[in-house]
Amino acid sequence: MKTERGWAGVICCFVLFIIVCFFLTLRIGDAFRTSGHSELGLLFFVIPGVIASVISPKRQLMLPLLGAVLAMPVCLVLMRQGFFSTRSFWQELAWLFSAVFWCGLGALFWQFIRVIAGAKRGRQ
């Protein structure tokens, strides 16, 4: 059962990472570009990391990162084939690596919240 929950965390992060990437490449990110903050949409990649870390029973950092790394090729193909890209292949690859970073940061944020909540319970 625990291994199934582990795979659920990977699959959850995989699907959510692709959904966030899909929405950001569907020109929803144009609102950020017109405001002068072109890569502000990368912050949305924190969400898959947090949710997958909540679902994962153990290895709460590794499983969301595994899901994000597995989703990278799918997103790269989606960005290169499905839409008209204004960036080069290497720029899109760097953008995806930074998205994986933000996903991992979301998982670390959830671990931080759990440690802080555990420390507060220990004092009471």
Residues for the chain: how many in total?
Answer: 124
Please give the pLDDT value at position 73.
94
Please give the pLDDT value at position 32.
56
**What separation in angstroms does the CA of 123 have from each of 60, 117, 118, 120?**
24, 10, 9, 5
Please give the pLDDT value at position 1.
47
DSSP H helical segments within the chain, as ranges?
2-23, 30-34, 46-55, 62-81, 89-123
Please give the pLDDT value at position 118.
80
Q: Please tell me the distance from the alpha carbon of residue 64 to that of residue 57, in angstroms, as a whole number.
A: 11
* Half-sphere exposure of residue 55: CA atoms within 13 angstroms, side-chain side: 22
Contacts (Cβ under 8 Å, ≥6 apart) of 74: 18
Q: Please tell me the distance from the alpha carbon of residue 30 to that of residue 36, in angstroms, as a whole number.
A: 10
Over its length of 124 residues, how does the chain's per-residue pLDDT go in tens digits? 455 566 888 999 999 999 999 888 776 555 555 555 557 788 899 999 999 999 887 777 888 999 999 999 999 988 888 666 677 889 889 989 999 999 999 999 999 998 898 877 766 6
Name the region of 83 (left: φ>0; alpha: ψ -120 to 50; beta: rest). beta
Neighbours of 65 (CB within 10 A): 20
Please give the pLDDT value at position 42.
87
